[in-house]
Amino acid sequence: MISLGPVVQAWSPKQPNPFFGLNYSAGESEAANYGTAFYPGQSFIQNILLARPTPTLWPMNTTSPPHIAFIGGGNMASAIIGGLIRQGMTADQFTVVEPFGETAAKLKTAFGISALPAAEPALAQADLVVWAVKPQVFAEAATPVSPHTGAALHLSVAAGIRTDSIRRWLGNERVVRSMPNTPALVGQGITGLFSCPAVSVNDRRLVEQVICTTGQYVWVENEAQLDAVTALSGSGPAYVFYFLEAMTEAGTGMGLTTEQARQLAVATFSGAAALAGASSEPLEVLRQRVTSKGGTTHAAITAMEMAQIKPAFVQAMQAAEQRARELGDEFGKA
C-alpha cells in the first residue's frame, strides 16, 4: 500500500459520495485503498491476493510528490481525486480549474480543495495536468491554460479528442490520451491508454498510478485502437444496462417483482463477470459448461442463435467504433 503521509479525507469512501450519490461498501473501499480493481464476489483478502502490484505514486527519479492540476472538476475529476486522496495525497497537492460554482463548492466540501474559477499562473506548479472537460469545450479551455503548463505532462480523459489536436492546442508533446468508462465513478472502471512518443516510462508510471484509482487500465499501441476501446468498454456499460433491462423485463413477465428481477439480473452479471475475470479458460468454454444439452440454458442460447443476437451485437459495436472515428474528426476541427 502506498503511504504518502497524513491523509486529509473530507470525504470518506464509506459515506455517500456527494458527487455521485453512491456508496462504497467496505470491501470496495478497502480494495480501492490498495489502488486495485475490486473483484465482485471476492472477499477482501481474496481481492488483495488478486490485486496487481501498484506502481509508486511518482517517478523514481523525482524526490517530491507530484502536483496534479485538473482542468474541469466534475464527475471524472472527482472520481480520480477521491481515489488519490484515499491513497494519501492531500488537498494542497491539487490545483483544480472549475468555473461552475456549484461544482467548485462540492470539491470544497468533499475534498477540501478550493478550485480556481479560471486558469492562472498557479497552474505552473503542476507536474501532471488532467483534462477532464467535455470534449466540446476542450479547445476553448486549452487557450488560457496552455501558457502556464508548458513543462507538464498532460493526461486527457476527454472522449474522442485525438492527441494531434491536444498537442496542437497545448503546444506540448508529452500527452497521454485515455478512454475511461463510467464504472470509474465507483472505482471499477477500465481505461484504455495511449501515449505519444515524447512520453517517458516514468510519465507512463505516473499516469498508471493516477488512473488505477478508478479501476483497471490497458495500454494500446496505436491511437486508432482507442476507437475500438470506446466501442467496447467506453460504451459498454450501456450495453450491459440494456441486457439488464431485458432480463429484468423478462423476469417481471414471468412473475417476479421488479426488485427481485433487478437484483437477480445485476448479481448474475457481476457474478458471471467475476467468474470470467478469475478464469483463464475461453469464454466459450465457460458458457458451454453451464449449457447442458436439452436443458434450460440450451433452450435460451438456441433461441438467441436463431435470432442472430451475436452478429447483431458485433454490428452494433462496429457502429460505435465508426461513430467514435467521426467524433474524433469533428472535435479535432477546432
Ligand X SMILES: NC(=O)c1ccc[n+]([C@@H]2O[C@H](COP(=O)([O-])OP(=O)(O)OC[C@H]3O[C@@H](n4cnc5c(N)ncnc54)[C@H](OP(=O)(O)O)[C@@H]3O)[C@@H](O)[C@H]2O)c1
To the nearest whole angstrom, how small is the minimum distance from the Cβ of residue 220 to ligand X?
15
Indicate whether 324 belongs to the interface with ligand X (CB under 6 A): no
Binds ligand X by CB under 6 A, chosen from 72, 215, 236, 251: 72
For residue 38, the tally of other CB atoms under 10 A from its CB is 25
Binds ligand X by CB under 6 A, chosen from 134, 287, 289, 310: 134
Lay out the site mask for ligand X across 143-172 (x = CB under 6 A, - = otherwise): --------------xxx-------------
Indicate whether 135 belongs to the interface with ligand X (CB under 6 A): yes
Indicate whether 180 belongs to the interface with ligand X (CB under 6 A): yes
Q: What is the DSSP string of 282-293?
A: -HHHHHHHT--T
Indicate whether 233 belongs to the interface with ligand X (CB under 6 A): no
Given phi > 0 = left and psi -120 to 50 = alpha, else beta, which region is 250? alpha
Cβ–Cβ < 8 Å for 176, 153: yes
Indicate whether 142 belongs to the interface with ligand X (CB under 6 A): no
141 vs 324 by CB, closer to ligand X = 141
Indicate whether 328 belongs to the interface with ligand X (CB under 6 A): no
Cβ–Cβ < 8 Å for 85, 111: yes
Indicate whether 182 belongs to the interface with ligand X (CB under 6 A): yes
Alpha carbon 333 to its chain's center: 26
To the nearest whole angstrom, how small is the minimum distance from the Cβ of residue 104 to ligand X?
8
Instruction: Quote the CA–CA distance of 131 and 119 in Å, as a whole number.
Output: 13
To the nearest whole angstrom, how small is the minimum distance from the Cβ of residue 116 to ligand X?
9
Residue list 74-103, contact with ligand X (CB under 6 A): 74-77, 97-100, 103
Instruction: Quote the CA–CA distance of 62 and 56 in Å, as a whole number.
Output: 11
Cβ–Cβ < 8 Å for 183, 197: no
Indicate whether 116 belongs to the interface with ligand X (CB under 6 A): no
Q: Which of 301, 269, 266 is nearest to 284 (CA)?
A: 301
Cβ–Cβ < 8 Å for 132, 161: no
Instruction: Quote the CA–CA distance of 141 and 169 in Å, as a whole number.
Output: 10
Cβ–Cβ < 8 Å for 182, 190: no
Indicate whether 265 belongs to the interface with ligand X (CB under 6 A): no
Indicate whether 332 belongs to the interface with ligand X (CB under 6 A): no
Name residues whose C-beta falls within 8 Å of residue 73's C-beta, 6 or more positions apart in sequence.
Answer: 81, 96, 97, 98, 103, 104, 107, 113, 115, 132
- Supply 154's cell numbers: 498532460
Indicate whether 185 belongs to the interface with ligand X (CB under 6 A): yes
To the nearest whole angstrom, how small is the minimum distance from the Cβ of residue 22 to ligand X?
12
Indicate whether 232 belongs to the interface with ligand X (CB under 6 A): no
Please work out the total of residues on this chain that contact ligand X, with binding judged by CB under 6 A.
Answer: 27
41 vs 99 by CB, closer to ligand X = 99
Binds ligand X by CB under 6 A, chosen from 32, 184, 196, 320: 184
- Supply 91's cell numbers: 488537498
103 vs 188 by CB, closer to ligand X = 103
Residues that bind ligand X in the complex, under the rule CB under 6 A: 71-77, 97-100, 103, 132-135, 137, 140-141, 157-159, 180-182, 184-185
